[in-house]
A = this chain, B = another copy of it.
Amino acid sequence: MDPESVEDVTKKMVEDIKPDFIIYVGPNPAAPGPKKAREILSQSGIPTIIIGDAPGLRVKDEMEQQGLGYIIVKCDPMIGARREFLDPVEMALFNADVIRVVAGTGALRIVQEAIDKVIDAIKEGKEPELPRIVINEEKAVEAMEFTNPYAKVKAMAAFVIAEKVGDVDVKGCFMTKEAEKYIPIVASAHEMLRYAAKLVDEARELEKAMDAVSRKPHSTEGKRLSKKALMEKPQ
């Protein structure tokens, strides 16, 4: 979205809809559109969390000064945004792999916990303490509470590979001109991600081998429950 559209939508959100709190999710929080959005959100006084990818690191301090919360998900890489790969099927498969990595490594669980805390505070009528988190491989796997240590390190490995995918796609999209060069670069990034997703699957299967997959569903009242053995009730 161009900056104007972002401005329109964001204003509508803070002026018309006026929600209790806002989660803004999108790539590169440092880009012009998101920058505009952050200004509006900051001035609105509505508690806001910006969820973004690695390029957002550059405006980490700025977001803190703006009074915004943020979660930077380092294992959510930029796609290979070259026309050859902007096929909806290719993009969907890439995103499926990203989701697998973000979810299976535990990064998603940090997001879940952060949002839960804000909701809890608001429910209790308190000012929510906004999260300011850069999710790296160590934090992700800690949140996932792996039982098998090899499951944990495989998830870390997957995280690091996925993070690197972003660098390779940046090289293919912004630092290489000739199609004969950037096509293999971008395609190799997507193959890397495919393998990161496979590693995540292998990690989860190791947890299954120990009947120790961690699951944290919410109770009817919205409390975060927890279970590990498949047949046990969440508590």
Residue among A157, A181, A197 with most chain B CB within 10 A:
A157
Q: Is A64 an interface residue (CB 8 A)?
A: no
Collect the chain B residues with CB atoms within 8 Å of residue A141's CB: 184
CA distance A209 to B154 in the complex (A): 12
* Chain A window 54-97, contacts with chain B (Cβ cutoff 8 Å), 1 for yes, 0 for no: 00000000000000000000000000000111111110110111
Q: Is A160 an interface residue (CB 8 A)?
A: yes
CA distance A229 to B84 in the complex (A): 10
User: Of A19-27, A33-41, A104-112, which stretch is located at the interface?
Assistant: A104-112
- CB of A118, distance to nearest CB on chain B (Å): 15
User: Of A43-51, A127-135, A211-219, which stretch is located at the interface?
Assistant: A211-219
Interchain CB contact under 8 A, B153 and A184: yes
- Which 4 pairs, one residue from A and one from B, show the smallest C-beta to C-beta distance? A92-B103, A87-B215, A156-B188, A157-B191
Q: List 20 A-B contacts (CB under 8 A).
A: A83-B234, A86-B217, A87-B215, A87-B217, A88-B109, A88-B112, A92-B103, A93-B100, A93-B104, A95-B99, A96-B103, A152-B184, A153-B191, A157-B192, A161-B161, A161-B192, A179-B233, A187-B230, A195-B195, A206-B208
Residues of A within 8 A of B (CB): 83-90, 92-93, 95-97, 99-100, 102-104, 106, 108-109, 112, 137-138, 141, 144, 148-150, 152-154, 156-157, 160-161, 164, 168, 179-181, 183-185, 187-189, 191-192, 194-195, 197-199, 201, 204, 206, 208-211, 214-219, 225, 227, 229-231, 233-234
